[in-house]
Structure 1
Amino acid sequence: MSDPIRLNPTLDARDYAEAFQRDGVVQVSDFLTPQSADRLEAALKTATPWGLSVSPGGKGEWLSPEALQTLGRDGVAAKARDAMAAARTGFGFSFLSYPIIDALVAGRDPGHATHELAVVLNSPEARDFCAAVAGETGITKIDAQATLFRPGDYLTLHDDTGVGERRAAYTLGLSRDWRTDWGGQLLFHDAAGDVPRGLMPRFNVLTLFRTPQWHTVATVAPYAGAPRLSITGWLRDDKPYAESGR
């Protein structure tokens, strides 16, 4: 039987809250126990039914594995071209993803390690830790999707503005032994278009950052030796999943 997904029991929000308030971003190393991080990495590499997140015409769309098969190579290539055309002058993205919360609520892929992570993230222990680091009250839930950036995948400039429910954003990096010249950094942009901070993909590191805040994911280089793996989402203050149905 696999070890359950667990938080690092030594985490203390007071170790990170000051840096978050000062900089609007903080990284928490060893967020999960080593066994938990290893299990998540293995699940993402070998047991995840990835779909494609893409933005044809600048509008986000998730294509399930079944939809990708129906579209075929030419149909998927057309979606990718449309997304890239939109990305030249506006918001665009293309990467593989797995909608953890939707799959969990729908009862798909039972026993998947990311589903356990979603439950852990929405436990009082994890929710209160993240809320305390971010200095936010009223956090009711933490959503989650898994992402896999292949060579050439990208996510252009955006600030994570929602309709008021997104209080902070996070990524949980699961990329091991990444090289900085492989790209894939989480880049924060200022009003002049410069990059005052860039964070390289790392393993078992939680990055929390204030929203709205302009950022991108740098395109993964064609020579990258591994995919960029992460769990991403927002700390939210809308209805909890038990009340909203998702």
Structure 2
Amino acid sequence: MISNELQLEPWRARLRAHGRVQIPGFLQEEAAERLHQCLRDEVPWEIAQRTGAELPPGLPREAAPGSEDDARLLQAATARARDGFEFYFDRYRMIDARREGRDPQLVLHAVVDFLNSPEFIAFARQLTGDAEIRMTSAIAVRYRHGHFLRSHSDHASDEDRAFAYVVNLSHGWRPDWGGLLHFLDPTESRVIDTFTPLWNSLSLFRVPQPHEVSLVAPWADCPRYSITGWLRRG
């Protein structure tokens, strides 16, 4: 699945020096196209928003993407975001679906198996220099107009996350469409680096590290698709 033309050492050195790297041409082109097709046409998406967020009276916590309730939930999340951490996007929880045997026709199940295969774990250890990586978590993500992820560091007390990754699977994404992965200084007051979600690229960065995904503009020509998660030590 990974491109046979990938030269690892330059990216390994950049990751070691900067704590983050974006690698173009990460997957074999045929594999990237098949995953894009799956994300675009086949995935039964659900809405992701902050657990425990207070909702306006009468508004359900779950809604079908594109419905009136979805629009109202997004409006509520946007209002809450003025006061602190929030996010709103579509997701498909790949690990849970694989474990529970849901949607067996989806090629995403093969991706979960690949990301946790001995071959990929060995690749991850070689790229990062972290010999303690043991597993890979994964969710599919779709950002539509108005979707966002406010600043956070990916630290989790119940998981040993070593690196976060994003496999970008949208064709022709333009920077002025939003959906940019911004890295922030420790005070979260200044952008110090930005990754545009370039087609078939791998964004990889050490955890913890303050970052955000900027709001997707209403003029974006397509959704922002990706497979994302963490390389974990346990």
| Correspondent of 1:68 among 42, 63, 67 | 63
CA contact (8 A) 1:58 1:87 kept: no
Query: Could you tell me which residue of structure 1 aligns to residue 218 of structure 2?
Result: 222
Comparing 117-126 with 142-151, which one deviates more in the overlay?
A: 117-126
Query: Could you tell me which residue of structure 1 aligns to residue 13 of structure 2?
Result: 18
Pairwise CA distance, 1:86: 2.7
Tell me the alpha carbon deviations over residues 146-202 of structure 1, each in whole angstroms, 9 at most, x when there is no partner. 111011100000000012510110000001111111111100011351111111111
Query: Could you tell me which residue of structure 1 aligns to residue 170 of structure 2?
Result: 175
Tell me the alpha carbon deviations over residues 32-88 of structure 1, each in whole angstroms, 9 at most, x when there is no partner. 1111000000000100100000126558xxxxxxx425xx734x4554344223311
Q: How many residues align?
A: 224
Q: Does 1:237 align with 2:233?
A: yes
| Correspondent of 1:47 among 39, 42, 49 | 42
Pairwise CA distance, 1:18: 1.0
Aligned ranges for residues 160-171 of structure 1 at < 5 Å?
160-163=154-157, 164-171=159-166
CA contact (8 A) 1:159 1:214 kept: yes
For residue 215 of structure 2, give the secondary structure of its aligned residue in structure 1.
coil
| Correspondent of 2:89 among 88, 95, 103 | 95
| Correspondent of 1:209 among 191, 205, 210 | 205
Comparing 8-17 with 116-125, which one deviates more in the overlay?
A: 8-17
C-alpha distance in 1 between matches for 2:123 and 2:83? 38
**Percent identity between the aligned chains?**
38
Pairwise CA distance, 1:145: 0.4
C-alpha distance in 2 between matches for 1:172 and 1:220? 18
* AA in 2 matched with 1:189: L
Structure 2 gap ranges (5+): 55-61
User: 1:83 and 1:91, CA in 2 relative to 1: closer, same or farther beyond 3 A?
Assistant: same
User: 1:180 and 1:77, CA in 2 relative to 1: closer, same or farther beyond 3 A?
Assistant: closer
For residue 16 of structure 1, give the secondary structure of its aligned residue in structure 2.
helix
Query: Could you tell me which residue of structure 1 aligns to residue 101 of structure 2?
Result: 107
C-alpha distance in 1 between matches for 2:203 and 2:122? 16
User: CA RMSD for the aligned pairs?
Assistant: 2.0
What is the TM-score when the length of structure 1 is the normalising length? 0.85
Tell me the alpha carbon deviations over residues 201-239 of structure 1, each in whole angstroms, 9 at most, x when there is no partner. 11111111011000000100011111101111000111x
C-alpha distance in 2 between matches for 1:101 and 1:157? 25
User: 1:186 and 1:28, CA in 2 relative to 1: closer, same or farther beyond 3 A?
Assistant: same
What is the TM-score when the length of structure 2 is the normalising length? 0.89
Structure 1 gap ranges (5+): 1-5, 60-66, 239-246
For residue 234 of structure 1, give the secondary structure of its aligned residue in structure 2.
strand
For residue 88 of structure 1, give the secondary structure of its aligned residue in structure 2.
helix
CA contact (8 A) 1:120 1:126 kept: yes
